[in-house]
Structure 1
Amino acid sequence: MELLIRPIRQTELPLLEDFLYEAIWQPDSNRRLPREVVRTPALRPYVEAFGSQDGDCCLVAEVGGEVVGAAWCRVIRGFGWTGERIPELAVALYSSFRGCGFGTRLLRALLEELSGRGCCAVSLSVQRDNPAARLYLRLGFRTVAEHGGEWVMRCDLGDRTGAE
């Protein structure tokens, strides 16, 4: 499968709601949250009016002309907030495209884009038991806080020499 990573197009912005739902780690496939969860006040800021704020940035993963994943960030006080002007990111792939290295390539591309824009750091939140946590550690994120089973992680973009 040929992977193309590119900026999201204006017409594709509605897909962010789908990817936000995919970004919610749900280990039990028989007990999934309703899709409407992405419209709750806690999650809405991740996608609402995306592209309208300075610093909004989104790359998509495209395979065979279809968008199959997205990595995006914006400055919000979300679950992974670590400081003023530090954007928080989200990343997700449709389940059938996971485990192929696409997430790693997509996230690396977003980190490079943010670094090129002069961004000093980026943050996220992840459930400690979520397999994606290992990816974040490999790419240079470090845990800066823990709340229950959730890690708040930060990647300082100026010092990426140790990241794979």
Structure 2
Amino acid sequence: MNYKIRALKPCEIKLLDTFLYEAIFVPEGIKAPPKDVINHPDLQKYISDFGKKSDFCYVAEVEGKVIGAVWTRMIEDYSHVDDDTPSLAISLLKEYRHLGIGTKLMKQILLTLKEKGYKQVSLSVQKANYPVHMYQKVGFEIIHDNKEDYIMICQL
């Protein structure tokens, strides 16, 4: 599959609504929440007013269509470690998962964060969510093992 990884354009910030919703893990056999769930304050912090100096985002594009995104920002969220560690979110449209695109997105944002001088990045993932192994392959380690999820960090 031909795709390219590139920075999110300012005119595309609204696309983060779609990818925030796609980032919500829905276990097999469970009904997906309504799309307006992303309006909850705990989720809005991932995308509200995106574009600040410490916000970074890359997208995967296939034939002119954005099909995935990875982004980081300095927020107090489920994976908050400290005030110097950005939190990461990633998602792909369902039909583009399991093709290695997410790994390429992750590697690009990790490289950028390292170049910008960050020492580490964190994320939260539910234990049953399949990308846990991909996160470990690109360098994330589990630092907290909660009842339903892991808090992971990657040293840059």
Partner of 1:43: helix, strand, or coil?
helix
1:131 aligns with 2:130: yes
CA drift of 1:146 comes to: 2.1
- 1:40 — aligned with what? 40
CA drift of 1:28 comes to: 2.9
- 2:74 — aligned with what? 75
In the superposition, the TM-score normalised over structure 1's length comes to: 0.92
Letter in 1 for 2:86: P
Contact kept, 8 Å, 2:27 with 2:128, in 1: the verdict is no
Cα separation, partners in 2 of 1:30 and 1:128, compared to 1, 3 Å: closer
What 5-or-longer segments of structure 2 have no aligned partner? none
Matches within 5 A, 1:30-109: 31-52=31-52, 54-109=53-108
Distance in 2 between the 1:115 and 1:3 partners?
24
CA drift of 1:67 comes to: 0.4
CA drift of 1:29 comes to: 5.5
In the superposition, the TM-score normalised over structure 2's length comes to: 0.97
Letter in 2 for 1:44: Q
Partner of 2:42: helix, strand, or coil?
coil
CA drift of 1:30 comes to: 5.0
Distance in 1 between the 2:29 and 2:103 partners?
23
What is the count of residue pairs matched by the alignment?
Answer: 156
Distance in 1 between the 2:74 and 2:145 partners?
20
What 5-or-longer segments of structure 1 have no aligned partner? 158-164
